Amino acid sequence: MNAPVTPPKLYDCRDAFAATLERLASDNESIVAVCNDSVGSSKLGGFKSKFPDRLVNVGIAEQNMVGVGAGLANGGRLPYICGASPFLTGRSLEQIKADISYSNANVKLVGISSGMAYGELGPTHHSIEDFAWTRVLPNLPVIAPCDRIETAAAVEWAASYNGPCFLRLSRVGVPDLLPEGHKFELGKANLLRGGTDVTLIANGTLTHRVLKAADVLAERGISARVLNMATVRPIDENAIIAAAKETGAIVTAEEHSIFGGLGSAVAEVVVDNAPVPMKRLGVPGVYAPTGSAEFLLDEFGMAPTAIADAAVALIKRK
């Protein structure tokens, strides 16, 4: 009898964010946190206890929150602006455009509980447009880490980066995928698995799902390359072009609308440089209903077996 398989431990990336921010703030007195009455959901309780005079809670006023962060940056502080991603981005897009992106302010935007992490709260709380809204803005790197290790590395990178950025974090538990000590490199994809028949590209909560899909494909005799594309802007064009030329087919999967997000960013590179068949998996241009994030991802065709099936269908078009 085969021994039971122990499932991997799952981690909340918000914990890695908070722990890293506290560590950085201990060494850098210019770091401040700004939030919209979201101390709990942003995991800033420890930061508040250690640095009570460096936490600014503006209340449920996201547009003001972004303006306050920009002002703090202009005054020489290093602000991390934290809030639920649908409200940080959608409600404050004009302020992000004018006060952060256009001004090239040294502000770190942290979208908490992105994608469909607030699933039970319904469409108003889903954040499946934030890639599209943010990646169109100049001067604003857009980053979606795949696990707690990459989250910590990205938060640390952001502190040393002289300019704005948007970190998109989920509250959905994910396993460790990258090695301890991983260093984040802006615009650089991580090759998680080699393959020659098709390439699977994902980020955030979908990365471990496409790795499982690659396992399903391997059982079917199909070799799948897996790329963790944490940086949506600037995107790793070289990795995408190589994938297109070497595997001839690309599937993207994201906890986002298929319009304007990771799949669209990859498709732009493919069509300009190495056209091959593509399939974009995500929310298909509808308001996602109420339900847990795991349930909704499965319903929208992003269970590992469904991702594998999409890859098989795509390979037939090569």
Distant-in-sequence, close-in-space partners of 54: CB < 8 Å, separation ≥ 6: 25, 29, 31, 32, 33, 47
77 vs 33, 88, 96, 108, 183, CA distance in Å? 10, 20, 17, 11, 24
Q: Which residue ranges form the domains of the chain, and what is each CATH number?
A: 11-174 (3.40.50.970), 190-316 (3.40.50.920)
Query: Which pLDDT belongs to residue 231?
Result: 98
In sequence order, what E strands does the chain have?
31-35, 55-57, 78-84, 108-112, 142-143, 165-168, 190-193, 198-202, 224-228, 231-233, 250-257, 278-283
Query: Which pLDDT belongs to residue 7?
Result: 79
DSSP assignments along 90-123, one per residue = ITTHHHIIIIIITTT---EEEEES-BTTTGGG-G
pLDDT digit string, tens, across residues 37-79: 999 999 999 999 999 999 999 999 999 999 999 999 999 999 9
Query: Which pLDDT belongs to residue 5?
Result: 63
Q: Which residues of the chain fall below pLDDT 50? A: none
Query: Which pLDDT belongs to residue 6?
Result: 77
Q: What is the pTM of this model?
A: 0.96
